[in-house]
Amino acid sequence: MSVSKYLRNTRRARFGVVSSVTGLIALTLSLTVVSTAAHAATDPGLGHANTFGILSSTYTNTASGTTITGDLGYTTGPAVAPTVSGTTHVADSTYNQAGIDQGSALTNLNNQPCTFTFPAGAVDLATDTSHGAIGVYTPGVYCTTATSAASIGTAGITLTGGGTYIFRVNGALTTVTGSAVRFASGASACDLWWTPTQATTLGATTTFAGTDIDASGVTILTTINWTGRALAFGGTVSTTTDTITVPTCSASTTTTVAPTATTVAPTATTAAPTATTVAPTKKTTSPTTTSPTTTSPTTKATTPTAPTSPIVPGSVSVTG
């Protein structure tokens, strides 16, 4: 094999190694993205329950002035009817299906792994620092330990960044008078979920947000502004001159993460064959080297025909 051909083959081999390494790096990155996407909190979807501002077995409202922008559903109704912009469903098929969908959503939320668990004991979300900056939360699944209630104190909380927020409270959920849930940098009430295992009680003049799924019951004290849903199918919801608005939500941004990660993986798969094609390139150089060897005997084969000529001696002399 000539030096130039050896160098060319060496370059090809090096390129194959580089391609293999590049493929492995791409595969590692894709797996990292897929892993991150797999552990990101996701919105569960609500099916028929999506349009309900209040969904309960028993609904009580003791004074005029409560407004629900959305649907209302119950089996036992209030003494004073609220103002409802949507449809009031009284134990009809839509109401029953909404109850089923509420249960499915709760199961989905409870099956998502915690990204942070608060220390044991009751936690004030407004003052806690164990999770990070005081009163500030980024997308994730926040869990309390067993029988640990959660509250939102006077300072309130701020959710910052697009994504899904799940607060899984293994106990009661309460807010103090005048507390607030605020949003920044793309966070939305559409992507905020509360799943307490005991009753929810919102203090007067609270500015609350998100979907609270709580079959233990939801008590909404006076003059509360809530952007979200009180879903307590199987329990009781109580209101007093409150405003509840079902948010208008577009498709969840979290849902689009998984397809993005999936399209990265084929990049690594394509790189692997590139390294494999190097070996055949080396093998094709051997037949190329033997081709000139076949030509040499052809030239010598014409020499024996010279003796038939009368000038054989001269020819031999020249050849010599």
- Quote the CA–CA distance of 46 and 212 in Å, as a whole number: 12
Listed in sequence order, the residues at least 6 apart from 175 whose beta carbon sits closer than 8 Å to its beta carbon are 151, 152, 201, 202, 203, 206, 208
Single out the residue of 142, 139, 164, 160 nearest to residue 251, CA to CA. Answer: 164
In tens, the pLDDT along 6-53 reads 545 555 555 454 444 444 444 444 433 334 444 689 999 999 999 999
Give the burial class of 238: count Cβ atoms within 10 A of its Cβ; 0-12 exposed, 13-18 middle, 19 or more buried: buried
Whose tokens are 């104190």? That residue is 153
Residue 254 has pLDDT above 50, yes or no: no
The mean pLDDT value of the chain amounts to 79
Residue 268 has pLDDT above 60, yes or no: no
Q: Would you say 52 and 72 are in contact if contact means Cβ atoms under 8 Å apart?
A: yes
Q: H or E segment at 79?
A: none
* pLDDT in the model for residue 250: 77
* pLDDT in the model for residue 68: 98
Angle, to 10 degrees, between the axis of helix 3-39 and the axis of helix 257-276?
Answer: 160
More confident residue, 125 or 316: 125
Lowest mean pLDDT among 69-83, 150-164, 226-240, 261-275: 261-275
Quickly state the pLDDT bin for 292 (edges 50, 70, 90): very low
* pLDDT in the model for residue 11: 57
Stretch 283-301: mean pLDDT: 39
- Quote the CA–CA distance of 264 and 20 in Å, as a whole number: 16
Q: Would you say 52 and 212 are in contact if contact means Cβ atoms under 8 Å apart?
A: no
Listed in sequence order, the residues at least 6 apart from 35 whose beta carbon sits closer than 8 Å to its beta carbon are none
* pLDDT in the model for residue 101: 98
